[in-house]
Amino acid sequence: MLAQNSPAALKEKILAQKNAASLEQTKALRATLVAVDKRLAELEKLVVSAYEDKVKGVMPEALCVQLMNRYEDERRSKLEQRTQLTAQLEATQEDEQATDEWLAVIRDYAQLEELDRPTLLRLVKRIEVGEKYEIAGETHRDVKIYYNFVGYVGL
């Protein structure tokens, strides 16, 4: 059983199945978050610089106000983007935690010989049974098991 013999490989498979580009997406989200944080710091410096230039008389007040408004609009936009990125990263981490929880539960039942109702309810969210079809004279039916924590795992 893959859950018992190679839990790391099974975790990778589940995470990949939940989101085919999970690792790449997480890297991209983190990189974007770093870029947003960097731009927010730059905007803070630009606001201070514009204010200092206005106070020194180097910049007319109208131009300063225009720049401050533009910087503030961009800052608001970046803060909103940062909130969204953080939420997406947290969701990705929750997927990983759910997978870890599921693997721990599955390992507890690795040697299970008979499936009883409490065990089934703990492990399985739902079971989908497809229509009957025939292949080479044999009757077949697709069965998909959706597990708690991780959903469908096509092994």
Q: What is the pLDDT of residues 3-54, one digit of tens each?
A: 444 666 666 666 665 555 566 778 888 999 999 999 999 999 999 999 899 8
- Residue 92, pLDDT score: 77
Cβ-contact 65, 51 below 8 angstroms: no
Alpha carbon separation from 67 to 64, 77, 153 (Å, rounded): 5, 15, 53
From the CB of residue 3, how many other CB atoms can be counted at a distance below 10 Å? 21
Q: Which of 125, 126, 129, 155 is nearest to 143 (CA)?
A: 129
Angle at 144 between CA 142 and CA 147, to 5 degrees: 170
The band of 125, judged by pLDDT with boundaries at 50, 70 and 90, is confident
- Residue 12, pLDDT score: 65
- Residue 2, pLDDT score: 44
Angle at 8 between CA 144 and CA 12, to 5 degrees: 55
Surface-to-core class of residue 139, CB atoms within 10 Å of its CB (0-12 exposed, 13-18 middle, 19+ buried): exposed
Backbone phi and psi for residue 138, each to the nearest 5 degrees, phi listed first:
-105, 140
Query: Which whole number is the average pLDDT over 69-95?
Result: 90
- Residue 26, pLDDT score: 80
- Give pTM, 2 decimals: 0.55
Q: Where are the domains of the chain?
A: 2-118
Mapping DSSP onto H, E and C, the string for 29-68 reads HHHHHHHHHHHHHHHHHHHHHHHHHHHHCCCCHHHHHHHH
